[in-house]
């Protein structure tokens, strides 16, 4: 779609019906690279460029929260070279994007577990995103070394470690949120998955209880602003009942 068509599509959005929080399962990098007879890491590099484009549109639309599924706890099972390449790519591209994040007033953070991560690597990447923590604009969550089931288990462990019998007795779905990696944030209104796969793959399992799901056959490196607007338009036309009639 031409640039002018993107702007025309943008005009169709109703500002009152925009999602506050969008989660994105960025899937299809490997298949995209394979179709071009290139290594999987080639697809991951292309995917990082798309992430930047999506962030730019998020800023333009004033989306409050974007959560990207960057690296799951299951991704450690991939080939050693691919994993190491992914970790280097994340660290290097993050450093390069900090000036633009600062200019756009973006607050960036990692959500996930530190279990299994190299201590020096974690210190370096966490210090990088910490540079944005005085910013007050859009929040970007990078779900890194993330697993939805593990998040719930770690939340329970935090609660137990407090030793507060009253809190434990009065635990409910609302106040349990404070023990999750996304504490203080609204649940995602919309979750987008690329590549046509019809599953959440352990992504934001607790938070996505009533999220609207949008699946596109487009592989992540081919995703763009037009695709994102189409997903948001689809979301804005839905009636959200949250379990009601």
Model pLDDT for residues 91-111, shown as the tens digit of each residue: 999 999 999 999 999 999 999
Is 97 within the bounds of a domain? yes
Is 154 within the bounds of a domain? no
Compute and round to an integer the Cα radius of gyration of the chain.
18
Is 161 within the bounds of a domain? no
Conformational region of residue 47, where left means phi above 0, alpha means psi within -120 to 50, and beta covers everything else: alpha
Residues in the chain with pLDDT < 70?
A: 1-4, 244-245
pTM over 0.75: yes
224 among known catalytic residues: no
State whether residue 186 is helix, strand or coil: coil
Q: What range does the domain containing 113 cover? A: 18-147+188-236
Percentage of residues in the chain having pLDDT higher than 70: 98
75 among known catalytic residues: yes
Is 169 within the bounds of a domain? no
Is 66 within the bounds of a domain? yes
103 CB-side CA count, 13 A: 7
State whether residue 175 is helix, strand or coil: helix
Is 65 within the bounds of a domain? yes
14, 27, 105, 172: the catalytic one is 27
DSSP code of residue 181: T
Residue 209's Cβ-count burial label (10 Å; 0-12, 13-18, 19+) is exposed
5, 14, 75, 170: the catalytic one is 75
- How big is the CA angle at 224 (ends 55 and 11), to the nearest 5 degrees? 85
- State the total domains in the chain: 1
Of 129, 121, 124, the C-alpha closest to 101 is 129
- Domain of 91, CATH number, reads 3.40.1180.10
Is 218 within the bounds of a domain? yes
Handedness of CA 53, 133, 122, 203 (dihedral sign): negative
Q: Which residues of 37-56 are buried (b: 16+ CB within 10 A; e: fewer)?
A: eeebbbbbbbbbebbeebbe
Q: What is the pLDDT of residues 128-153, one digit of tens each?
A: 999 999 999 999 999 999 999 999 99
């Amino acid at each position: 779609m031409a640039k002018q068509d993107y702007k025309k599509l943008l005009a169709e959005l109703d500002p009152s019906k925009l999602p506050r929080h969008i989660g994105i399962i960025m899937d299809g990098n490997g298949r995209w690279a394979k179709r071009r007879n290139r290594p999987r890491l080639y697809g991951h590099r292309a995917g990082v460029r798309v992430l930047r484009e999506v962030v730019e549109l998020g800023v333009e639309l004033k989306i409050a929260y974007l959560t990207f599924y960057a690296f799951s706890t299951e991704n450690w099972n991939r080939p050693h070279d691919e994993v190491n390449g992914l970790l280097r790519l994340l660290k290097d591209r993050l450093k390069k994007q900090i000036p633009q994040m600062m200019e756009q007033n973006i607050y960036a953070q990692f959500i996930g577990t530190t279990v299994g991560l190299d201590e020096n690597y974690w210190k370096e990447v966490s210090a990088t995103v910490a540079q944005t923590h005085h910013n007050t604009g859009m929040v970007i969550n990078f779900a890194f070394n993330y697993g939805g089931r593990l998040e719930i288990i770690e939340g329970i462990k935090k609660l137990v470690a407090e030793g507060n019998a009253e809190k434990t007795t009065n635990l409910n779905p609302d106040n349990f949120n404070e023990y999750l990696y996304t504490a203080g944030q609204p649940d995602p209104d919309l979750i987008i998955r690329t590549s046509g796969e019809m599953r959440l793959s352990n992504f934001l399992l607790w938070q996505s209880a009533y999220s609207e799901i949008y699946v596109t056959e487009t592989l992540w490196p081919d995703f763009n602003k037009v695709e994102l607007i189409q997903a948001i338009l689809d979301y804005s036309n839905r009636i959200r009942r949250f379990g009601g009639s």
